[in-house]
Amino acid sequence: MNFENILVEQKDNLAIITINRPSKLNALNKTTIEELHEAFKYLEENAKVIIITGSGEKAFVAGADISEFADYSIEEGAELARKGQEILFNFVQNLSIPVIAAVNGFALGGGLELAMASHFRVASSNAKMGLPEVSLGVIPGYGGTQRLPQLVRKGKAMEMIMTAGMISAEEAKDWGLVNYVVEQEELLPLCEKLANKIMRNSSVAISAVIKSVNANFETNVNGFNVEIEQFGESFGTNDFKEGTTAFLEKRKPNFE
């Protein structure tokens, strides 16, 4: 796959997407968002786990590209948020394979929103996270006002968004926004280790887990019912037959 602003690398079933605009601190312009959509769509069918990171040592993503929307109208602003949420942020959240955000530096605005749309986050010790939109006279538009309170609770989210401040990787870990903090050179190795651990399990079951956990955060959806349905459907899969048979035969499962 050839893209202008992203790199896609595949090691068997593990894919690494690197947002590659280091001179702009990997800011998300329209082209990058569209390319990410294409890459995620392709990899959903051709990989088992995706790691997303930023190129260089300074930034994961320093936000949406401010130069692109500075002169937008009300309608264009709404369309920017609507389309971005549809093709990238909600798309990533609802992908049927896990997405791990390897936050290797600044994750601001749309950058933090992309990390939050991913299924979980690991940060390098130099990472800094924030939603600085109100300092620009705008609000987070790629799901930040919704996903941040889900991850760090309402009071901390309000403070972070209202102050437009940045928190350190360690604070992010204390707040539950990232699962681990490691030195930068250990970031991708740790994410790959976690990905490999995930890939030993049934990818069909993992996809059902994503649906069920996400249901907890949807309005007008009873997550317990989604879990019951997904649990039931597991019993009809080859992975379930293989997983339970392997256990009873005292061997490792060989999932499809």
* 99-103 vs 128-130, strand pairing mode: unpaired
Given the complex with ligand COA, which of 118 and 126 has the nearer CB atom? 126
Rounded to 10°, the helix 203-215/223-234 angle is 170
The three-state DSSP-derived secondary structure of 146-191 is HHHHHHHCHHHHHHHHHHCCEEEHHHHHHCCCCCEEECHHHHHHHH
133 is catalytic: yes
Residue 106 found at the interface with ligand COA (CB under 6 A): yes
Q: Which of 109, 143, 144, 243 binds ligand COA (CB under 6 A)?
A: 109
Residue 113 found at the interface with ligand COA (CB under 6 A): no
Q: Which of 4, 9, 41, 67 binds ligand COA (CB under 6 A)?
A: 67
86 is catalytic: no
Residue 114 found at the interface with ligand COA (CB under 6 A): no
Residue 246 found at the interface with ligand COA (CB under 6 A): no
Strands (E), the chain: 6-11, 14-19, 49-54, 59-61, 99-103, 106-108, 120-124, 128-130, 166-168, 180-182
Residues 130-159 that bind ligand COA (CB under 6 A): 132-133, 136
Residue 43 found at the interface with ligand COA (CB under 6 A): no
> Active site residue: 113, 159, 171, 233, which one?
113
Binding site for ligand COA (CB under 6 A): 24-25, 27, 62-67, 106, 108-109, 132-133, 136
